[in-house]
Structure 1
């Protein structure tokens, strides 16, 4: 959640931030009203409790009719205290609910607008000119079938639409990509993690995925558990309810996990192939650091993502995501989009977000900082996340970018040691 002091001291800043995201600012007025009601309810409760304590002392000293009158008043006062306590709790809940509705305040540098209002920061590499090479590129669906790498028909038969099997070199390619991603993470000082894909509601809400993104989340019926759409969720909750020494920062993790998404709202989009699916594997970078260092760390994560795409020998662009397309917790997000030849456009492969203190306030993660007095003080830390490798989309980009006229696919040099070959050759009798 945002810092409540900003809401109280500079509500117009929050109103502007809401409008920049394309959201109503009425929640700001509701939150301020709830805060006022909460403060009043607290004052009323404390006054009643103080009177109750004083009454208890008087009863102890009183006798006869006076004591009887005081006891009657004490009984009535106990009911009033109980009522005041209930009002205080209700007002506090309303205040908390309003705070949870408010997204992080988007950075001033982030372009304003919706999904299509991003700003291209740079383009790396040149898309292949297949026409000049004398052949029309095949899409990843046809290439996957020729290579015996992707089985969409049986994926749909077994699990439904937007599911798939990776078979043969397709499965090998996934493991190669995961190994390369982990190697890249280790080179940059990340601790490798295998994270759970099921979490409690506190973890999901704490990372902001039960707000505007709730429709895309799978809930396990009969259990108070959710399937994660990214290992950002368990990694953000990893240090929940902890105080970390500032000397240990930054803490950098690279977590592997399966990811599950309903893809709500994507009806009719990418219905063929493995670009937009309900399940995929991913390696996600996650950092805990100070607010002051978070901005440089954001650029660092972007640099690591770019280095990974360079290893895959892809043409890609980096975009600054518009405010209306930011997640609830992010103040700014950079996406790396690879060129997909058969679509004739760039598609997102990785993204990295700076969530500042938004998630740590919800999950009660603080840092212990030295104070000039010689003691220490605590305050919320900052969190950042960055996709290193979302497997299906990486496979799509590799197959389509490095295909050859006969349907074979050249293996990027960085993956050859994991795949044990330089070229993926079409197969026959794959059963597809």
Structure 2
């Protein structure tokens, strides 16, 4: 959530942010009104309580008619204090409810607009000219079937659409990717973490995934637990309700977990293969830093993502995501999109977001600097979303006979294997 003091001091900035997100600008005025009622009712309650306490002392010293009048006033105060307390609680609850609906403040340099209004910041690598090489590229599903690596038919039989099996070298390729990604993150100073896949509502809400993203979340009603769509959620909630010493920052974690997404609203999109699925594994970077260091940390996370994709020898571009496509928690987000030859376009492989103080305020995570305690900043960055990375590797490193060249960085994790060969039918 944002700082209420900032809202009071510069409501136009918050309105501009809501407008850029394509969200309800009137929410700002409703929140200002609720906050004013919360503060005024709080003052009223404090005044009545002070009078009530002072009156108690006077009653003990009074007698006769004076005491009767004071007792009468005491009865009235008792009613007024209770009413003021109820009013204060109601105004506070309304303020918090509205505050939870407000997105993070969009960074002023973020391009304004929707999904297609991003700005391309840089491009890396070159697209292969398959025509010059004398063959038509196969898509990742055909390659995966030739390699005995991907089985979507049995995935659908067992679990339904958008589920799959990774088999043989497909399973080995996932393990190689995860191990290589964790090795890079560990070398960069991240603490590796295996995180829970089920979290409580306060963890999911605290990271901002029960707002506009709620339709994509799986919920277990009987247990009131949520399946995470990313290990960002348990990594953010890891220090919930804690005060961290400033000399411990930055704290950097690399979480590996299964991820679950309903993919609501994606009907008809990416129905072939494993690009858009309901369950997948992912390595996620997560940082806790001082608020003034968040933009520099954001650039570091982006550099680690670029390093990873470069090591996989994939052509990719970096985009500055437009305001209406940020997600409620992010003030700014960069995506790295890999070239997918059979689609003839770039598709998102990694993403990194600067969430500033938004999540730490909701999760009550603070930093202590001497006698001063304040919210800190959180950031996240995907290092390896496994299925999409497999898609990009198979399509970009395929050869005419259906085999796939293994990027050098993965070979130590695949027993030195340089090529994935088709299996006999």
The alignment's TM-score, normalised by the length of structure 1, stands at 0.95
What does residue 241 of structure 1 align with? 241
CA distance in 1 between partners of 2:70 and 2:424 (Å): 95
Kindly indicate whether residue 417 of structure 2 is the aligned counterpart of residue 424 of structure 1. no
Q: For each residue in 1:37-89, what CA deviation from the matched residue of structure 2 results, as whole angstroms up to 9, or x when unmatched?
A: 11121122112212221232233334466555544543343232122111100
Counterpart of 2:187 in structure 1 is: 187
Select 1:388's aligned residue among 377, 383, 392. Answer: 383
Q: Is the aligned partner of 1:349 residue 2:349?
A: yes
Count of aligned positions: 424
1:122-178 deviation line (CA, Å, top 9, x unaligned)? 110001111111111111111111111111011111111111111111110110000
Alignment of 1:21-420 (within 5 A): 21-63=21-63, 67=67, 70-370=70-370, 376-420=371-415
Give, in whole Å, the separation in 1 of the partners of 2:18 and 2:348.
25
Aligned-pair RMSD on alpha carbons? 1.3
Structure 2: how far apart are the matches of 1:306 and 1:126? 15
Q: Deviations over 1:260-308 (max 9, x none)?
A: 1111111111112111111110000000011111111111111100111
Q: Distance in 2 between matches of 1:161 and 1:57?
A: 73
Distance 1:377 1:209 in 2: 30
SS of 1:208's partner is coil
Structure 1 portions without partners, runs of 5+: 371-375
- SS at structure 1 position matched to 2:240: coil
* 1:319 alignment partner, SS class: strand
Distance 1:389 1:365 in 2: 27
SS in 1 for 2:378: strand
Deviation of 1:414 after TM superposition, in Å, equals 0.8
Question: What residue number does 1:373 align with?
Answer: none
Give distance in 2, aligned partners of 1:234 and 1:134.
Answer: 48
Paired with 2:83 and 2:185, the residues of 1 have a C-alpha distance of 55
Query: Which secondary structure does the structure 1 equivalent of 2:314 belong to?
Result: coil
Q: Secondary structure at the match of 1:116?
A: coil
Partners of 2:261 and 2:400 lie apart in 1 by 35
CA distance in 2, matches of 1:16, 1:393: 35
CA–CA separation in structure 2 for the residues paired with 1:336 and 1:97: 34
Q: How far did 1:179 drift?
A: 0.2
Greater alpha carbon shift after TM alignment, 170-179 vs 404-413: 404-413
Whole-Å Cα distance in 1 between the matches of residues 283 and 291 of structure 2? Answer: 24
**Counterparts of 1:22 and 1:328, CA distance in 2:** 11
Tell me whether 1:10 sits opposite 2:10 in the alignment. Answer: yes
Partner SS, residue 196 of structure 1: coil
Q: Secondary structure at the match of 1:157?
A: helix
Find the aligned partners of 1:245 and 1:269 in 2 and give their Cα distance.
46
CA distance in 1, matches of 2:234, 2:349: 21
What CA distance in whole angstroms lies between the structure 2 residues aligned with 1:65 and 1:159? Answer: 81
User: Aligned to 1:57, what secondary structure does the other structure show?
Assistant: helix
